[in-house]
């Protein structure tokens, strides 16, 4: 089986980093690598990660920058980019290996389930998965994975403040369609619960539309953070 490097970008995640990395312990026991890239936490996140990861790196803040730093330090054949609030399905390494080998494709993602209070979240997740299959575009919540050579050929994540996963997907689609695994990753619905499910749905679609028509990612990031852009 090809070796995975699981790359986890973090910023002030003491509330969940321990459980997130403990969930990856079986992968480490099977010889895979876990790399945490800290974007300047001031709450002790890096200290909690050091006893649970193979490498903990310091980086400038920003998921794209952090994930590129992790990829540069990785030794695995396949890179898996995982948010700190997302849990992989059991046997994720075998599912990735089989999916890539059986299709001959270079990258992919998992289906996602959103864990939260709103009754709309199963609908949101289902639409995300359907849209991803139709468009070949993946999001970070879906635990994107890619062969190292394809990642390097695509130029890595563009240095964007937001939508870096969408932009990388577009680059990777020029190399191959994604493997859309039906195994389910579970991601936190905290932003949906905090902001309201319907409001968040509208915001994300609006941001994605503005991104595709060429609006500046820095401006979109301010909108996402609730600041006037």
The CATH number assigned to the domain holding 165 equals 3.90.550.10
Residue span of the structural domain in which 88 resides: 4-224
Q: Which pLDDT score, from 0 to 100, does residue 117 have?
A: 84
Q: Is residue 229 part of a domain?
A: no
Q: Is residue 79 part of a domain?
A: yes
Average pLDDT, the chain: 88
Q: Which pLDDT score, from 0 to 100, does residue 228 have?
A: 40
Q: Is residue 127 part of a domain?
A: yes
The arithmetic mean of pLDDT across residues 184-209, rounded, is 69
pTM of the model: 0.87
Q: Classify residue 214 as exposed, middle or buried by CB count within 10 Å of its CB (0-12, 13-18, 19+).
A: exposed
Q: Which pLDDT score, from 0 to 100, does residue 161 have?
A: 78
Say if CB 62 and CB 161 are below 8 A apart: yes
The number of domains in the chain is: 1
Query: DSSP states of 88-148 as a string?
Result: PPTTHHHHHHHHHHHH--SEEEEEEEEESS-TTHHHHHHHHHHHHHHH----GGG--EEEH
| 220, pLDDT greater than 60 | no
| 7, pLDDT greater than 70 | yes
Q: Is residue 70 part of a domain?
A: yes
């Amino acid at each position: 089986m090809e070796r995975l490097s699981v790359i986890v970008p973090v910023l002030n995640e003491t509330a969940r980093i321990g459980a997130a990395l403990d969930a990856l312990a079986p992968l480490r026991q099977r010889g895979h690598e876990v790399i945490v890239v800290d974007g300047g936490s001031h709450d002790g996140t890096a200290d909690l990660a050091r006893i649970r990861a193979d490498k903990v790196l310091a980086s400038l803040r920003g998921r794209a920058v952090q994930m590129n730093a992790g990829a540069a330090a990785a030794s695995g054949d396949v890179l898996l980019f995982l948010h700190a609030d997302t849990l992989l399905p059991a046997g994720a390494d075998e599912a990735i290996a089989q999916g890539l080998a059986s299709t001959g494709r270079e990258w992919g993602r998992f289906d996602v389930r959103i864990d939260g209070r709103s009754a709309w979240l199963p609908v949101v997740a289902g639409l995300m998965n359907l849209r991803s299959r139709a468009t070949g575009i993946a999001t970070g919540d879906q635990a994107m994975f890619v062969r190292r050579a394809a990642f390097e050929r695509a130029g890595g994540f563009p240095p964007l403040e937001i939508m870096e996963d969408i932009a990388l997907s577009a680059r990777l689609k020029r190399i191959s369609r994604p493997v859309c695994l039906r195994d389910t990753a579970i991601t936190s619905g905290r932003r949906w619960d905090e902001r309201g499910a319907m409001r968040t749905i509208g915001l994300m679609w609006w941001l994605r539309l503005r991104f595709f028509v060429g609006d500046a990612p820095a401006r979109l990031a301010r909108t996402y953070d609730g600041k006037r852009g």
